[in-house]
Structure 1
């Protein structure tokens, strides 16, 4: 691609990210999906027509796209209000797991919290965010105090630097496997990753960074450091704990048990300062049970079973279907544990099974899969990452109303594309964007 054309595409992309970050609300679905889709098309064109001499330009562009979002107020998610709430609670000397927001305001007075309360999406639920995330919330609150914008800049800056770290570790892992360095562009230039992590403050960014660090240290046989990094990944999001059984084929059962015990010990030591009573553990469990037994959003297979169940018994069988989804999830994970010998691709499939049967699949949930897709030969996740913004159609009106036809279309295309990849592409091929296979 000529340099002038490449620079033109990058400048248009930068304008698109500025537009998404500063001028588009999620209720304006038509404009949102137009710009989002355009960014994916631009990313595809840039990567497909890349030249070796352009790599540094693309690397700096991916970093710039993220940096330009640091000063924006997240428009696609309102979870950040709870992050700031939990941080403020801690700055006032309280534990965020002791009260729901409504309970706290019934007993205490704080002008900034009174300002935040109407903006919370879960005022009657206890916090579910792990201790590492709570530390970051507290740091942001300590710096930002009662200034919402400063709190946001601090949180976004943290995620921005974690993303820089992720890109570097991906680079190291690709080098270690002696593969084309351009594979890093899959993550670097993916609009979903850029907009949902730095743009909308989702802590999957830290989960991805610490998990990839876990793997890098593990490959270098620094097992204690690897277990510590995995502990931090779990502290950011709980899901990385699912990777431990995948280590059995690498280091054997007993070494995996010791590795897991070290990880659990570090996690416990890091958590004990904030989660240190049965009541606080009960509050977290209560909120998690509500999440897995009450909420539903963009869960394709779940919605299919729910529709069948509703037709059969004439009411929403969410409790029963949720338990059935857990059974399917566990069965699928056990299969992966028994069959998969590669840590990175194994975790990819474990996470895919988890999200495939989940009742709630927000767009940013896919970002770890985008990072891990570099280490598998299939590219259907990139198709899913381009389609999942369709779920924002639910926010066009109040109350929010999910369009099940759109959800069905999203999953139909993704499953269809996966079937096409498995059925018709040669095993060693790597479709869509980059023609490289990565394996241990």
Structure 2
């Protein structure tokens, strides 16, 4: 069966109806059109200059938010296709999942969450929804208001990693995959974006009390797992190439401390030793230190491929064993075995211990937060005089100080690392020390 046939007309509906394309244009499904809109969005291009783990200007090899998103999209598409769901939906969600990240990654997100308390807080996933449904101009409604990319209901739902408001979020805890402490709660929608959120969540299962449910659709679960898989294997790959990780000489006790502190608090040393033994049994796991040769690089790529295949294959098997399907929307849930979760967490712990916990990196992060705080202050003081035209228009339409603060946060979140440094240099009387402009 064609996966598209498993989705209803309501799944393919857009907030603003659109006329059919030219009769001589290539025929595409609504979900293929969604993917194209995200690929061509300005916000997608900006990801190339936004921090993933370290700044994109620090090295030619380092991954940025765009390359990470492309890798997540590939994993999500393959897993979705294997499950029999519509791969374009999961791939689009993966391509979009980091669009709302501000300059300097989760570090910038932490600062904006702090300064935006008066207007309802900041969260990268909620900002992604705001971009897709408001800020990224593609379609306007009958009153001339932007509805963003006007994606289908199923795609917007798949893009929503945390389908609840801030007031319904659980207490913060742990860290992000790049090692930044979770400074704020995780949620997926701001108060003034609730109407469109309610529209695309139509049909989602209700919660135990009969109110809005928190369950994610299957395609969002696929996107989330693909993000974890990509983080776990690619951060280790980067660390090996940089000479910071030797997979033949891991300090399991130290790595275990990072795993428990950051990801899985109840993972004891004996369990992690068994997990590491299982990973070492993968045929491509190295038996000698990486030497930087082409043969060594090829072996490392083979390990990356084998690990991704291992994780996704085990999840696929567990998901098929857990339900009859079809594996679309709310008909089933993704099943991640405990062993797979621990294997992914162990690899994250390796990267955390050997790459992310350095005094130099922590000092840089503090300077980045100072820069963004200064930029927010000056934009609030000068308003539409210095804002980009769309945000200047939003400022003039804002009803109160909270609304104007949200506009400034939207503007700052849209900047790349380099443009944030450049804006600070232009508006705040000089360049910020030790932060490269590009």
User: TM-score scaled to structure 1, two decimals?
Assistant: 0.32
Greater helix content:
1
User: TM-score scaled to structure 2, two decimals?
Assistant: 0.32
